[in-house]
Amino acid sequence: MQLADAPPHLSARGISKRFGGVQALRGVDFEVARGEVMALVGDNGAGKSTLMKILAGAHGADAGEFLLDGKPVSIDSPRDAVSLGIQVVYQDLALCGNLDVAANLSLGSEPVKEGWAFLPRILRPLDDLAMEIEARRAIEKLEVRTLRSVRAKVGGLSGGQRQAIAIARAVGGDSTVLLLDEPTAALGVAQTRQVLDVVKRLRETNHAVVYISHNMRDVFEVSDRICVLRHGGNVATWRASETSPDEIVLAMTSGMERSGRNAS
């Protein structure tokens, strides 16, 4: 039953994963389309994080297949995932607090000036102006309005701003799929609002966004569809506009099958 307006950009079929004696995922189906925010919810131990790590290539799946725009692909390593345009923002954000915003956004892929070919790349002069322009472009694209300067040290920013910068870094390059792991977990009200605005911007920039969260209010505010996992298996997928937080919570906790309203 295909109710999504757009065809899925990334889909995973029958994903299973076992850790020792624990069957973390048993034949899970999952998909996300471009320009869509797909929430992934479930109780602790439901398999959300495992599924996310498999999509990111951090874990290999024991069984199952991946399709990108309908074509079968393999995701066996983080490098595979990145080359397919899949980026993750983990909860710890992986930013360097002692560096400024521009440096963090280009971390690991710093532009260097031309004309220094006699030096190994690692010793060529950084093109910090290009870095700054690129950073400003990325920040403006996500409309992070509270950020005053891309030369501010990340360590001095608010939690919401840091989350936005981590997202901006993941968006940079050619990524099309963004996996966000509990992006608002440690944030206050105003900060959460800022991050949710950024997530909504990602939908407008035609990214496929996977949004993992415990917070029903946030989930219902940003997501188009909601996929519920329980005990490592699918419960169902709903359109956010056609369900309610109570129904989702019930599905998370007791796994009631509502096949009639299933939107996957």
> Which residues here bind another protein, judged by CB under 8 A?
92-99, 103-104, 107-110, 112, 121-126, 128-129, 132-133, 136, 149, 151, 153-156, 158-160, 162, 166, 186-188, 191
What does the DSSP 8-state code read for residue 156? G
**Minimum distance between the CB of residue 61 and another protein, rounded to whole angstroms?**
21
Q: Which is nearer to another protein, 187 or 263 (CB)?
A: 187
What's the first-to-final CA gap in the chain, in angstroms? 6
Q: Which is nearer to another protein, 58 or 73 (CB)?
A: 58
Q: Which is nearer to another protein, 3 or 126 (CB)?
A: 126
Phi and psi based region of residue 170 (left: phi greater than 0; alpha: psi -120 to 50; beta: remaining): alpha
**CB 208, CB 24: distance < 8 Å:** no
**CB 39, CB 218: distance < 8 Å:** no
Q: Residue 53 corresponds to which amino acid?
A: K
**Minimum distance between the CB of residue 164 and another protein, rounded to whole angstroms?**
12
Q: Which is nearer to another protein, 104 or 213 (CB)?
A: 104
**Minimum distance between the CB of residue 201 and another protein, rounded to whole angstroms?**
21
Nearest to 37 by CA among 205, 194, 155, 151: 205
DSSP per position, 163-198? HHHHHHHHHSTT--EEEEESTTTT--HHHHHHHHHH
**Minimum distance between the CB of residue 159 and another protein, rounded to whole angstroms?**
4
Nearest to 168 by CA among 107, 119, 110, 236: 107
Q: Which is nearer to another protein, 167 or 235 (CB)?
A: 167
**Minimum distance between the CB of residue 109 and another protein, rounded to whole angstroms?**
7
**Minimum distance between the CB of residue 5 and another protein, rounded to whole angstroms?**
34
Q: Which is nearer to another protein, 106 or 223 (CB)?
A: 106
Nearest to 205 by CA among 3, 12, 2, 37: 37
**In the structure encoding, which two tokens stand for residue 238, read together?**
């709903």
